[in-house]
Chains A and B, each alone.
Chain A
Amino acid sequence: MSGDEPGKAPDQRALDESPENAPATLDPEVRAVGARHGMFGTKGSGDTSGYGGLVQPVVYPGLARRPLDGWHEEVASALDAALAAAGVSDAVEGIVVHRGEITFHVRRDGLPAVARALRDDPSLRFEVLSGVSGVHYPDDKDRELHAVYHLLSMTWNRRVRVEVAVPDADPHLPSVVATYPTADWHERETYDMFGLVFDGHPALTRILMPDDWPGRPQRKDYPLGGIPVEYKGGTVPPPDQRRSYN
């Protein structure tokens, strides 16, 4: 069942807003980005279940406290030392450790220095950039577009993730092709799909979509597209207009 106005919050509010029905106070260890309304994905009509007024924050794992556990701390302190030696301060905004994977959130102007330190410092030696992936968080205000780098150290057999967030209004960040030549196509793909502009890339052009394609297909505001399918008298709406569970 498709909603009348996509994106519109359900018009039913929880009638009983007594304390036990209010959302639990947030754990300081998590980071809230946006909210999830209702339960069954129906918008504007139809949800008589009583769950239509449900509002839940969308929470992501929060920043980790130093010292970290195990080799994560070794990598984090080695990176701190290498950045200090390079005269760069404040490049790392925070560190998230979740499910055993470590993510360095890096400010965009610090990215080239961080990439160079991660590759060249003998105690870091992240020689291989596995890839660059983009993620679009429309609700993460002024940090809508994220570029996510997966790095691999073959010397130490370790993996880290570096994440750079930039505002949608100014989607520029420095390219790491000079440090990791393999980033060439990966950055082009992220540019193609999200509109992230990697300054300093040797030839930032579309790679998967045709050169004259309008729009950035992987962004959340870009529609999936599709047409209804008729089969044996019934009509199946396209996937993005079917009833979904958000």
Chain B
Amino acid sequence: MTADQDIYASSTETTEGRVFTVSGQDWDQIAEGLAEDDSDRIVVNMGPQHPSTHGVLRLILELEGETVTEARCGIGYLHTGIEKNMEFRSWVQGVTFCTRMDYLSPFFNEATYSLGVERLLDIEDQIPEKADVMRVLLMELNRISSHLVAIATGGMEIGALTVMTVGFRERELVLDLFELITGLRMNHAFIRPGGVAQDLPPGALDEIRASVALMRKRLPEYAALCNANPIFKARLENVGTLDLEGCVALGLTGPVLRSTGYPWDLRKSEPYCGYETYDFDVQTWDTADSYGRFRIRLNEMWESLKIVEQAADRLAGLEGAPVMIEDKKIGWPSQLSIGSDGMGNSLDHIRHIMGESMEALIHHFKLVTEGFRVPAGQAYVPVESPRGELGAHVVSDGGTRPFRAHFRDPSFTNLQATSVMSEGGMISDVIVAIASIDPVMGGVDR
């Protein structure tokens, strides 16, 4: 091997023909290699580590010139066995695992799982009001941060880097709120069976209101930058189209389904956590293309801001109300507080269980070591995640651990539309079509 040869970008002969590994700056070699073969048909293996494939998605594209004749997805590169792991932890610990699935919408993973467990426990009507309001608040903030990433990465993939930088700038605002309320920016494990883990910290409502006000000022920047931008529209319009019949047959939900003009939103059709009491509109578009999905995401962020404001108003009137179910056999007893050395067990709680109440100590010990038992059966309570219907099929055998927890992730289902959305189009449109689905590989592969 000579010094000017790149060991990572070589060509090899296989039974399928000649295979090139491309790493850039070696186009001469590939052009020469292809000239020897007179057919126009090439198979390109895009990913799994391509920057435009939303994480570790592998695309196998068959091309005639620049036209895609076949597109297939290879998934599984981020499979982490979360569902299997959940079978070896208590019901409450399961939240810590499932929050890591679709890492851009952790609260939705936690919510659908917790709602399923609560249905099996038959405690759906005992969840305190404040817990429901906090769940709605966090989910809607999460919808904003997730849509911001969808728009930001989608923009970056078509070369609109400013969209990416402003998108992540605003996402930071939301993540700061998450950090304030839950202690963590991602993977919160905050929504738990029975309620939420903690009460709002002091001053949180003011921070939320300030962030919402700032967001209201900044969201119009996206509209001003993109909505009528000729380059943006040329790249997105009529790309990745899928009509209503196609969406229903392939089980697509979320912005892709709503871009066909069908106002299907589980927050309206099967309300959970009290969504029926909030004032908001379901956003639709009628073009069934990537541009429509972009506009839906933009509009949904405004609707989410409306819901966040309503939730903040309600929380102002719920100061000091409980955030965890009263049933001492289910409600997680431990409370955390911030001490001089960081966050730790609340000293008040320690004093209570160690000095005042034997009963409380027993409950604390039993719940933390053993957990609670969930009556045998199965439940499926879907929620409207930023990407569509997210549901947890929760099965119990009456024990203290999930017998089986399966997540119906919208990214997984929606990604099946890759071939119908991109075959027959240009290779550059494949990226746009996939960005409009907004798959998150953590959710796809679980």
Contacts and interface: CB of A to CB of B under 8 A. Distances in A.
Contacts of A159: 270, 380
Contact of B119 (A60, A99, A135): A99
A128 B88 contact: no
A239 B393 contact: no
Interface residues of B, number: 50
Counting chain B CB atoms within 10 Å of each CB, which of A61, A130, A136, A217 scores highest?
A130
Contact of B376 (A58, A101, A224): A58
A131 interface: yes
Contacts of A222: 84
Contact of A209 (B79, B264, B397, B415): B79
Interface string B249-268: 11111000000000010000
A103 B64 CA distance: 48
A133 B406 CA distance: 6
A224 B82 CA distance: 11
Interface string B366-392: 000111000011111010000001010
B122 A99 contact: yes
B96 interface: no
A244 B393 CA distance: 23
Given A150-B408, A239-B85, A240-B88, A207 B76 contact: yes
Interface string A80-100: 000000000000000000111
Given A60-B377, A148-B378, A182-B413, A224 B79 contact: no
Interface in A27-49: 33-34, 36
Given A130-B382, A224-B85, A182 B416 contact: yes
Nearest to A183: B251
Interface string A54-67: 00001111000000
A58 B375 CA distance: 10
Name which of A33, A59, A161, A185 has the most chain B CB atoms within 10 A of its CB.
A185
Interface string B394-410: 01011111011010100
Contacts of A246: 399-400
Contact of A59 (B250, B376, B406): B376
A25 interface: no
Nearest to A203: B72
B248 interface: yes
Given A58-B376, A58-B398, A99-B119, A210 B249 contact: no
B400 A135 contact: no
A99 B120 contact: yes
Contacts of A128: 248, 251, 253
A131 B219 CA distance: 35
A133 B413 contact: no
A135 B404 contact: yes
Given A133-B408, A207-B75, A244-B401, A98 B251 contact: no
Interface in B230-278: 248-253, 264, 269-270
Nearest to B248: A127
B445 interface: yes
Contacts of B84: 217-218, 222, 224
Contacts of B412: 185, 189
A157 interface: yes
Interface residues of A, number: 49
Interface string A110-145: 000000000000000001111101111000000000
Nearest to A33: B397
A208 interface: yes
Nearest to B445: A208
B391 A131 contact: yes
Contacts of A61: 376-377
A152 B264 CA distance: 12
B329 interface: no
A182 B415 CA distance: 10
Interface string A217-244: 1100010100000000000000110001
A100 B380 CA distance: 11
Interface string A139-172: 0000000001010101001010100000000000
Interface in B285-319: none
A150 B380 contact: yes
B85 A157 contact: no
A224 B88 contact: yes
B124 to A, nearest CB: 9
A23 interface: no
Contact of B393 (A148, A180, A182, A208): A148
A154 B268 CA distance: 12
Given A184-B416, A244-B401, A129 B370 contact: no
A218 B87 CA distance: 10
B159 interface: no
Interface of A: 33-34, 36, 58-61, 98-101, 103, 127-131, 133-136, 148, 150, 152, 154, 157, 159, 161, 180-182, 184-186, 189, 206-210, 217-218, 222, 224, 239-240, 244-246
28 contacts: A36-B398, A60-B397, A98-B377, A101-B119, A128-B253, A130-B251, A133-B404, A148-B406, A150-B393, A154-B264, A157-B270, A161-B378, A180-B251, A181-B249, A182-B249, A182-B413, A182-B416, A185-B412, A185-B415, A208-B75, A208-B76, A208-B79, A208-B446, A217-B81, A218-B84, A239-B88, A244-B401, A245-B371
Given A61-B376, A150-B391, 17 more contacts: A36-B399, A58-B398, A60-B377, A101-B119, A130-B380, A130-B382, A130-B389, A131-B413, A133-B393, A133-B404, A133-B406, A135-B378, A157-B270, A180-B249, A181-B249, A181-B416, A217-B84
9 tightest A-B CB contacts, nearest first: A182-B251, A131-B408, A133-B406, A208-B76, A245-B370, A208-B79, A239-B88, A133-B393, A245-B400
